[in-house]
Amino acid sequence: MTNKDIFKGKTILITGGTGSFGKKFTEIVLKNYQPARLIIFSRDEFKQFEMAQIFPDSQYPAIRYFVGDVRDKERLDRAFHNVDYVIHAAALKQVPAAEYNPFEAVKTNILGAQNVINVAIDQGVKKVLALSTDKAANPINLYGATKLCSDKLFIAGNSYASADPCAFSVVRYGNVVGSRGSVIPLFISQRQKGVLTVTDPRMTRFWITLEDAVHFVIMCLEQMVGGELFIPKIPSMNIMDLAKTIAPRCKTQTVGIRPGEKLHEVLLPMNESRNTIEFDRYYVVQPMFDFWGARAAKNTGFKPVPADFEYSSDKNPEFLSVDQMRQLLRDHGFMPAGSAKAKSGKSSKKKLARV
């Protein structure tokens, strides 16, 4: 259980705070915790305007909205003043866009990470937790490669901080149920036409709900000593089962794996297993830095994983059934009750809720 006082009287800043994760994080923190300030830092003033309609400062006096870009070190320097905790969620995340605009992906995902690290140390931020992706494990596309580089920068940031109190860690998890650009909204839209496009019937993916992702991040922020790469234990699902969940009466059309896409996702590659320890709910990849020796002694209740261990979506011991995923989608507003019985090609009279 997370300590309810973890944010009491503290100032938290989230980069990329107007994204799906940032909005859910804001909702949960404002509802369940008592921060002194919660700063939403992002580059899109219109998204901040929209978010301010949901979380107005008149109703939530702790909230602040800062327009800025992680590429702009001077703006970060101003924004991080007197901040206790930073959640780094800002990134260019679309795989095709990163392939077509590689310089921009490097500037945001790598150089932006470097700026966050340097400014956090200079401003005396206590903890920085960076969000990563399964695509950073054995990356085959530019987005994954930039996030792997970012992960390594944040872990090494503990060496740069040296005697300063600032600690850096990383959270790596899989696909978020219903997030923008994911296959679930695509299948929901294609259901109306009666045909779902499937890349490969063998494909599997890890899945986590947005709410669970936020709670895991808060838990990691509380537990971290600096240097950990946290990986939650989450279920997998086969793409054909997902198609049956959303549109059981629809046909599927195999279109082939897209460039930069894997058949199965990996959260923990085998070559990282020798540095990995296992807890009840998550794994921690330990850094190979001198600073870790003293910090690792604070860890208890773990066991090492086997030397040949790999945590991949196809070898995962936990798989979601069609009924389990259907209930998840209903619980989070992506499927109205009874939608599974809709006939293919016919529009549902109920509108799907949006997160």
Q: What is the pLDDT of residues 172-213, one digit of tens each?
A: 998 898 677 678 888 998 998 999 999 999 999 999 999 999
| Predicted pLDDT of residue 350 | 31
The residues, any chain, with a CB within 8 Å of residue 40's CB and separated by 6 or more, are 14, 17, 18, 22, 26, 48, 51, 63, 64, 65, 66
| Predicted pLDDT of residue 3 | 79
- The reported pTM is 0.90
| Set 24, 135, 147, 262: catalytic member | 135
* pLDDT of 95 strictly over 50: yes
Distance, in Å, from the CA atom of 201 to the CA atom of 222, rounded to the nearest integer, reads: 40
The residues, any chain, with a CB within 8 Å of residue 160's CB and separated by 6 or more, are 117, 118, 121
Mean per-residue pLDDT for 12-22?
96
| Predicted pLDDT of residue 342 | 39
User: Is 315 tagged catalytic?
Assistant: no
* Complete domains list, the chain, with CATH: 11-175+208-234+266-312 (3.40.50.720)
* pLDDT of 40 strictly over 50: yes
The residues, any chain, with a CB within 8 Å of residue 73's CB and separated by 6 or more, are 115, 118, 119
Mean per-residue pLDDT for 61-79?
97
* pLDDT of 77 strictly over 50: yes
Place of tokens 């705070």: 17
| Predicted pLDDT of residue 197 | 94
Contact between residue 46 and residue 18 where contact means Cβ atoms under 8 Å apart: no
The residues, any chain, with a CB within 8 Å of residue 11's CB and separated by 6 or more, are 35, 36, 37, 38, 39, 82, 83, 84, 85
| Predicted pLDDT of residue 178 | 66
Mean per-residue pLDDT for 301-319?
93
**Of 59, 334, 15, 63, which Cα lies nearest the Cα of 184?**
334
Output the average pLDDT for the chain.
90
Mean per-residue pLDDT for 256-274?
92
* pLDDT of 334 strictly over 80: no
| Predicted pLDDT of residue 11 | 98
Confidence at 83, pLDDT banded by 50, 70, 90: very high
